[in-house]
Amino acid sequence: MALLPRLTLPQRVKEDTMPVSAAAVVLDAALDAHRAGTLDELLLQRPGILRWAARHYLQPILGTAGDRLPAERRLAAAAELLLRWAITQLRPDREPELALTSREAWLERTSWRPFIALMCHYGFAPVPDFRDRYYRHPDESPADNLCGLWNIGQSTFYRYLEKGKRLIARLLYEQRLDQRHTLSLRAFVWRTVVQPGGFASPAERMAWHRRQAQAALQSKDPLSAFWHLHMAGDVAELCRFAQHHLASLVGHSEFDAQWQALWDRSTQPGERIELLLTTAAIYRMQGDDEGEQAAYKEALHLAVQSHDTQRTGIVCSQLGRFYEPRDADRAFTYYQEAAELLVSSVEGRHDFDPESAEEYVSVLVRMAWLYTLRNDPRARFVLERVETLRPRIQLDDDKQALIEQAWGEYWRRAEDAAKALEHTLRALSIYEKLNDQQGIVKTYINLSLLYGELRQFERAIEYGNKALGIADRTAIGPEATASTYLNLGANYFWLGNYDAAIVHYRQGLQVAVEANLKLHIRRAHYNLAEAFYTRFRIGRAPEDELQGDAHVEAALAAWPYESDPAHIEQTKNLKREVLGEGNPPTYDRLLPQETAAHYPEMAEIEQQRAIIAASDRPEDRVRAHLAIANAYLAISVKERETALALIERHGLGDRFADEFERLRTTFAQTLTRQQRLAAEWKAKAGDLLNDARRAATLKHLLENGAINKSSYARLCHVGPATASNHLIHLAERGLLKQIGRGPSTRYVLPDEK
């Protein structure tokens, strides 16, 4: 039995700090064992070395070769492949091949000699017989044979040998640091192990790659799974996989290189749209707002240019997601656009496109989520629509989890904690099954908030810290990080630890500001104001009151959108509520449906009803009733304008003429003079004046009683001649009446009939 080469490496090596010199010792031992034919025995007798190699080097080999490696010596075979590949990296051309057929490289080029010396000396390949150059003895060693071929001494040969080993040790050290040579290693394994086995057809090869991708994913090796799907060649499938596993892929040089290769080979518009959407997700993971937005805009341009309705809808959906934490109004508009584009892929069809149908459901869920964030009970109707689609559409686990998350937040705001917890824990179970770190983090964030409201603060803080723990190991995105800090702050606030609450709120604010997350910035300022006011109420420190005032102003400035009037009103009243008697109103609870849809008007109505109930003065009650009537009239106008916009958008023409006639009759009884004039001017002068000019002219007439040529020119930004011409035409159409002549000419509104 051959003796094992002596290994002087310490038995216990700190794996993460192993220097180049230690790698050289392991390399020496492995090369000597291969030369002696005892590599398997070495690995069996030194299991620590094999575990170390498996940890730092062998996973790409195991993942690439898949089931083509012998099961009985899987790790040992992988270690031998690593050694063979390392030798190939000494080739000047870096081809992952041990075979060398070039006579010139064997005999003339000195740059090839370290590679040839190691390859032949350690038994990876024989020295060819070049009888015209050198006549070797039958039992001559590879070293002596090469010395004769190259006409060099033993010392020179061993210098080549040592140089090759130093280069390999350095290469292995680099590979352990950042896996920079993994694609070359995979190419070597493919050529050496997989390709020689062959495939009966391209379809069989693709099926094999998909099986190996699934196995790699089960082994928690997403990079190998991505490589196999890349080799299978389905760009859409690859993009879906990448988006589900971005946290494990982004930041690896191997992934970056393969992603660039995909861009280089993909030319079809559909494929490029898929790549752009995934690229946007990568930018989102990296916190690059500009890059993410640019990728979405380019994808939208390409989809519209290609007349691809379904992909246009999908891109609009993703743009809605991008704007959700930045501009809720714009996000909702994109979601509505996406829903209108995608609804045809589902409604009334049995052969719907699965991807478009899934995206349609996703859009509905996100619309429901936005309704929920506005405390608008219409969220429930949208989610119930989703539930009717669930049996018809084969939704993947990720979409199922998204639906559960949305229901959980809805029931939390509806103050049904049991249902909220049931749905949220169901979402967590799905994400854990998928090993979706992003989804797990988001669910931890929601559970932290939910358990806090249930007064289970220790569990709430535990889930918040779990989310931050994942953030320490992998990128979870600024939105999730900011939410985690804000929820932790809320739990400390509820515990009465206002100092800790302020610390966490500030951390969340810092993350949100750096990522320009306006929704989170608003929430952070609101929470900080509440914490400072509460601490002021207890300790009466003037600085706390000033800090509270500053954060209220910042909260209003951060989110000035009219779509969220309830939160704006709550922010304005926060100081009075906190410093007065009782607790401030709950920030996130569902409002009555009409209040959510028309918050300013319904708030005015509620205030005026209180005046009617409390006042004994008839004058006050009359004003209150008139204010209520005006508020309801404003609601009617808004609903009518929404209907008109929908008719125009969808080309419905005169289909609703009877309904509008009944509405016109009702409005005619209640319209103010200004409203009647606006309607008449739009009907009679719509071709002459645009909306802005009509509104400016009417406002001037009602406030000043008359208008002349110079005033009209200034208001409408036209020249004197055009102003005179417009006023004459308006008078001819009965909308104005001329008074005076020459320089004193002016125009007034006709007397009402």
Q: Left, alpha or beta for 694 (phi > 0: left; psi -120 to 50: alpha)?
A: alpha
Residue 70: count other Cβ atoms within 10 Å of its Cβ: 9
662 and 693 assigned to the same domain: no
Number of continuous H segments (helices) and E segments (strands) in the chain: 38, 2
Report how far residue 630's alpha carbon sits from residue 475's, in angstroms, rounded to the nearest whole number. Answer: 52
User: Higher model confidence: residue 737 or residue 179?
Assistant: 737
What pLDDT does 424 receive?
A: 93
User: Which DSSP letter does residue 581 get?
Assistant: S
661 and 693 assigned to the same domain: no
Contacts of 418 (CB under 8 A, 6+ apart): none
What pLDDT does 96 receive?
A: 80
Question: ∠ CA 251-254-255 to the nearest 5 degrees?
Answer: 60
Whether residue 640 lies inside any domain: the answer is yes
Q: Which of 23-32, 179-188, 394-403 shows the lowest per-residue confidence on average (mean pLDDT)? A: 23-32
What pLDDT does 590 receive?
A: 64
Span 580-595, pLDDT tens digits: 754 555 556 666 666 6
605 and 738 assigned to the same domain: no
Would the CA dihedral through 45, 47, 48, 49 be positive or negative?
Answer: positive
| Confidence check: pLDDT of 13 > 50 | no
| CA-based nearest residue to 338, from 368, 307, 362, 355 | 362
Report how far residue 240's alpha carbon sits from residue 436's, in angstroms, rounded to the nearest whole number. Answer: 13
Range of the domain at 603: 598-670
Whether residue 6 lies inside any domain: the answer is no
Last residue of a domain, one of 180, 195, 210: 195
Span 366-389, pLDDT tens digits: 999 888 877 888 889 899 988 988
Whether residue 394 lies inside any domain: the answer is no
The CATH number linked to 696 is 1.10.10.10
716 and 615 assigned to the same domain: no
45 and 166 assigned to the same domain: yes
What pLDDT does 672 receive?
A: 66
What pLDDT does 659 receive?
A: 79
- Alpha-carbon dihedral 30, 35, 36, 39, rounded to 10 degrees: 30
User: Which DSSP letter does residue 56 get?
Assistant: I
Percent of the chain at pLDDT exceeding 90: 28
What pLDDT does 8 receive?
A: 39
Residue where the block lists tokens 């090993």: 435
Say if CB 218 and CB 253 are below 8 A apart. Answer: no
Span 484-521, pLDDT tens digits: 899 889 888 988 899 999 999 999 999 989 888 888 89
Alpha-carbon separation of residue 325 from 218, 319, 371, 374 (angstroms)? 34, 11, 14, 13
User: Which DSSP letter does residue 343 get?
Assistant: G
| CA-based nearest residue to 576, from 511, 625, 538, 529 | 529
602 and 744 assigned to the same domain: no
Last residue of a domain, one of 147, 177, 195: 195
What pLDDT does 71 receive?
A: 86
Whether residue 641 lies inside any domain: the answer is yes
635 and 722 assigned to the same domain: no
Mean pLDDT of the chain: 84
Span 37-88, pLDDT tens digits: 888 888 888 777 777 777 778 899 999 999 999 988 888 899 889 999 999 9
| CA-based nearest residue to 492, from 436, 531, 537 | 531
Whether residue 469 lies inside any domain: the answer is no
Whether residue 145 lies inside any domain: the answer is yes
What value does the mean pLDDT take over residues 447-472? Answer: 86
Residue 698: count other Cβ atoms within 10 Å of its Cβ: 19
What pLDDT does 1 receive?
A: 28
41 and 156 assigned to the same domain: yes
What value does the mean pLDDT take over residues 417-424? Answer: 91
Contacts of 217 (CB under 8 A, 6+ apart): 225
Whether residue 233 lies inside any domain: the answer is no
User: Which DSSP letter does residue 462 get?
Assistant: H
Give the pair of three-digit tokens for residue 353.
């496109």
Residue type, 338: A
| Confidence check: pLDDT of 560 > 80 | no
Q: Which of 5-14, 406-415, 668-677 shows the lowest per-residue confidence on average (mean pLDDT)? A: 5-14
Span 705-723, pLDDT tens digits: 789 888 888 888 888 888 8
Q: Residue 434 — pLDDT band, cuts 50, 70, 90?
A: confident
| Confidence check: pLDDT of 201 > 60 | yes
Angle at which helices 673-685 and 691-704 cross, to 10°: 140
Cα of 466 vs its chain's centroid, Å: 21
Span 95-142, pLDDT tens digits: 888 889 899 999 999 999 999 999 999 999 999 999 988 988 888 999
What pLDDT does 585 receive?
A: 54
Span 313-354, pLDDT tens digits: 999 999 998 988 778 788 888 998 898 888 877 766 666 677
Q: Which of 168-177, 271-280, 407-416, 594-603 shows the lowest per-residue confidence on average (mean pLDDT)? A: 594-603
What pLDDT does 631 receive?
A: 78
Whether residue 124 lies inside any domain: the answer is yes
25 and 149 assigned to the same domain: yes
Report how far residue 249's alpha carbon sits from residue 436's, in angstroms, rounded to the nearest whole number. Answer: 12
What pLDDT does 559 receive?
A: 63
Alpha-carbon separation of residue 273 from 39, 304, 335 (angstroms)? 49, 11, 18
Residue where the block lists tokens 């989610």: 383
648 and 619 assigned to the same domain: yes
Last residue of a domain, one of 177, 195, 213: 195
Contacts of 41 (CB under 8 A, 6+ apart): 4, 33
Report how far residue 255's alpha carbon sits from residue 241's, in angstroms, rounded to the nearest whole number. Answer: 13
Report how far residue 85's alpha carbon sits from residue 624's, in angstroms, rounded to the nearest whole number. Answer: 86
What pLDDT does 620 receive?
A: 75
Query: Which pTM was predicted?
Result: 0.57
Q: Which of 129-143, 404-418, 466-480 shows the lowest per-residue confidence on average (mean pLDDT)? A: 466-480
User: Higher model confidence: residue 4 or residue 561?
Assistant: 561
Say if CB 356 and CB 341 are below 8 A apart. Answer: no
The tally of domains found in the chain comes to 3
Report how far residue 686's alpha carbon sits from residue 693's, in angstroms, rounded to the nearest whole number. Answer: 10
Span 435-455, pLDDT tens digits: 888 888 889 988 988 888 888
185 and 52 assigned to the same domain: yes
Q: Residue 644 — pLDDT band, cuts 50, 70, 90?
A: confident
| CA-based nearest residue to 166, from 23, 379, 301 | 23
Q: Residue 160 — pLDDT band, cuts 50, 70, 90?
A: very high
Give the DSSP letter string of 112-148: GHHHHHHHHHTTSSPPP--TTT----TT--HHHHHHH
3-state secondary structure 163-186: HHHHHHHHHHHHHHHHCCCHHHHH
Report how far residue 361's alpha carbon sits from residue 684's, in angstroms, rounded to the nearest whole number. Answer: 45
| CA-based nearest residue to 345, from 306, 382, 377, 393 | 393
20 and 49 assigned to the same domain: yes
What pLDDT does 2 receive?
A: 33
